[in-house]
Amino acid sequence: MDKIKQLLKNQTARIILGGLLLLIIAGYFAYTQILASRTPQELTEMDLNFDLEGPYAVLVPRQDGNAMVLNLRRTSGYDGITYELAYNSEGIDRGVVGEISTKEKKGEYTQEILFGTCSRNVCKYDKDVENGTLTLRIKKGGTIYKMITQWHLQKPDVALGKLISGDNHFIYQSVGKPAQYALVGFSIINDLSAAPKLSADKEIVGKVYSLSTPSAKDLPEGNITIELSGSPSVESRVSKYSESEGKWVELDTKTEGSKLTAKASGGGIFTVLSAKR
């Protein structure tokens, strides 16, 4: 009888010890999971010059030229967005860094960016801002996609009636009256890191450009010239994206060497489209 009692005691002890061991193991795994969730993931940064179906930014100048509106589109599938605006003012390199909250998972975000600083409703603006770059860092999972694009802010020269991109490969030449042109104020031409949706039978040749003017202002009719790095195919056309129709519209295009010219009514998003090969 004593041996049976001793055996039962040993079994009970082993069961208790086993239970304690399981609790310790379970607690350890729970702790490591909590610790892992609090430890920042190691992120990989990848340069992305152009992604046809990725996010892109349209820049719109404020009427006084002292700020621009950053209009980010096609952003719902991303976990975080930061931006860096770099430019030169009176020979000094300047920059603005910011972050846009993506908690709402919206497809489009807007953010006004000042060329300068404000304190207690008193603003000091940077002067002679003209050329710059926009760097977007957009996070998705464990990867940050880095996109750098150029922009050119300019006040129209009424005598010349000409607006030029930062890389000099996109030109808008006014054919309207100088008085109409003078009322527009500032404009921004920036190249895009992606493009509005294309039809399946078309492809983009070269860059995609956005020509924007202040809200409620529009450019008079003008000629758009896009210069490519090589000679285009015979079916290549300067095209403008129609926001109202949600599609690209090919314009009547003249080609001379690597330059394509077409007449356009106002600003918008432009590129050269060709038949997909």
Interior/surface letters 193-216, b for 16+ CB within 10 angstroms, e for the rest: bbbbebeeebebbbbbbbbbbbee
Q: Would you write out the chain's pLDDT as a tens digit for each of its 277 residues?
A: 555 555 445 666 566 655 666 666 666 666 556 655 544 557 788 888 888 888 899 999 998 899 999 999 998 888 888 999 999 999 999 999 998 887 788 888 899 999 998 888 899 999 999 999 999 998 888 899 999 999 999 986 655 678 999 999 999 998 877 666 777 788 999 999 999 999 999 999 999 999 999 876 788 889 999 999 999 999 999 999 999 999 999 999 999 999 999 999 889 999 999 998 8
Q: Other C-beta atoms within 10 Å of 225: how many? A: 19
* Domain spans, the chain: 1-39, 46-275
Contact 213, 171 (CB under 8 A): no
User: What SS3 string covers 181-246?
Assistant: HHCCCCEEEEECCCCCCCCCCEEEEEEEEEEECCCCCCCCEEEEEEECCCCCCCCCEEEEEECCCC
CA separation for the pair 98, 118 (Å, rounded): 15
pTM (two decimals): 0.81
CA separation for the pair 44, 207 (Å, rounded): 26
Q: Which CATH number fits domain 46-275: 2.60.40.10, 3.40.50.20, 3.40.50.10260, 2.60.120.10?
A: 2.60.40.10
The pairing of beta strand 221-227 with beta strand 202-212: unpaired
